[in-house]
Amino acid sequence: MESEWVKRVYNILPSQQPLENLRMNLLDQQTNNQKLPMNTYKTYTERAKQHPNACARSLFELMERKQTNLSVAVDVTTKKELLSIADAVGPFVCVLKTHIDIVEDFDADLVAQLENLAKKHDFLIFEDRKFADIGNTVKHQYASGIYKIASWSHITNAHTVPGEGIIKGLGEVGLPLGRGLLLLAEMSSKGALTKGSYTTESVEMARRNKDFVFGFIAQQKMNQFDDEDFVVMSPGVGLDVKGDGLGQQYRTPHQVIVESGGDVIIVGRGIYGQPDQVEAQAKRYRQAGWDAYLERVRIHKST
């Protein structure tokens, strides 16, 4: 979480100029100069053996088995595109992240084919729903409606703005199915309000609900203690660009994994932005992410 000196520097800047780039640089300097929790330096296999959350255990085991910490965010609007990209990147990812509600020709067959691809290529499906309503409402959004997310998505996520009831509501549906929940502790977009006390309280909610909440969408490690092990999945990862002109900011796999203690890198357009390069870029990012993980483990073993 952000140290007090990062908050103080950020808060004295002119309010009309958030200067998120400076804030991200300050965070990078902070993480470079602080020791990450001990669990961060362990192998995925070691973390799987001791993790209390079933979804986290499955993820760590899969990551080690496939030697990948790459998640591809497939934000496309047609069934054909989604399935084509999923099949192309499937061998190289641990998690496929979807926005199912933007698929214009969604149908039940799309879900069935996604599930088949997940089995074929051995990856988990993460529906990036970002639930943000009261517990009773999200319970129905998760289980019912036309998408029936809980029936096929291994992982989903939620904002904590509505309070802890959102976790309880989603948990009523997801826990019996062995699903896992990520909380949005931080976002990678410029001007995001997910910082400070919001992030701090999100972590506290996660601690009180470890049976269902296994980690965060965040830009840095959320653990404060060596005996806790929350998974951090980090969006905004790029090897070639720093931003997209629409507020997204990018960091390298090394910055995310080694310097900030992230566990899974989330990459979208950097992989499928050029249709003829999807497989090549997936291989490239998978290797960069895995190399960063191996470097992090070596750092611990050499100390």
Active-site entry in 79, 130, 190, 210: 130
Q: How far is 164 from 134, CA to CA, in rounded Å?
A: 9
User: Is 197 assigned a ligand-binding role in the annotation?
Assistant: no
Q: Is 133 a catalytic residue?
A: yes
In terms of Cβ atoms closer than 10 Å to its own Cβ (0-12, 13-18, 19+), residue 25 is exposed
Active-site entry in 122, 133, 211, 291: 133
User: Is 274 assigned a ligand-binding role in the annotation?
Assistant: no
Q: Nearest 5°: phi and psi at 240?
A: -120, -20
Is residue 259 a contact partner of residue 31, using CB atoms and an 8 Å limit?
yes
Going by the DSSP 8-state scheme, the letter that residue 227 receives in this structure is T
In terms of Cβ atoms closer than 10 Å to its own Cβ (0-12, 13-18, 19+), residue 180 is buried
Q: How far is 136 from 122, CA to CA, in rounded Å?
A: 33
User: Is 97 assigned a ligand-binding role in the annotation?
Assistant: yes
Integer CA distances (angstroms), 147 to 109, 110, 113, in order: 11, 10, 14
Q: Is 128 a catalytic residue?
A: yes
CA dihedral (230, 241, 299, 286) in degrees, to 10, reads 70
User: Is 268 assigned a ligand-binding role in the annotation?
Assistant: yes
Q: Is 291 a catalytic residue?
A: no
User: Is 151 assigned a ligand-binding role in the annotation?
Assistant: no
User: Is 35 assigned a ligand-binding role in the annotation?
Assistant: no
Which are the catalytic amino acids? 128, 130, 133
Please state the residue numbers annotated as binding site for substrate: 75, 97, 188, 248, 268-269
Known binding site: residues?
75, 97, 188, 248, 268-269
